[in-house]
Amino acid sequence: MQSRPLYRFLIRWFVSGLGLWIAANILSSNISYNRDFAVIVIAGLILAILNTFLKPLLILLSLPALILSLGLFMIIINGIIVYLASKLYSGLNITNFWAAVFAGMVIGLVNYLVSTILADKN
């Protein structure tokens, strides 16, 4: 099926934007997007692209840390991806790395919930 990868990318984009929006509202003192919906959409796209292409490389390079931490190092990898997205896109401002780690945890939780809901429908 030709549209399946595109469908998954669009879902990843939506989930990234939704998780980022939730994290920005929880951590409004550390994450700002000027209350502009377009910033969330563009930042979600950047996160989806980084998760598609850069995250597998980071996972491969940090495999020893992932094994030693029993997978908990994924939290740091997610934070790196979110922090990098904020550096690549000036509309999204994240004040420190730990706010990015928290945002990565929120995005991961939203991703898990959406994946569970979609899996139940299939």
**Residue 122 above 90 pLDDT?**
no
Please give the structure tokens belonging to residue 51: 């998760």
pLDDT given at position 1: 45
Map residue 95 onto helix, strand or coil: coil
Map residue 93 onto helix, strand or coil: strand
Map residue 94 onto helix, strand or coil: strand
pLDDT tens profile 67-92: 999 999 999 999 999 999 999 999 99
Q: Can you give the residue ranges of every domain in the chain?
A: 13-115
What DSSP letter does each residue of 16-75 carry, written as one string?
HHHHHHHHHHHTTTTEE-TT-HHHHHHHHHHHHHHHHHHHHHHHHHTHHHHHHTTTTHHH
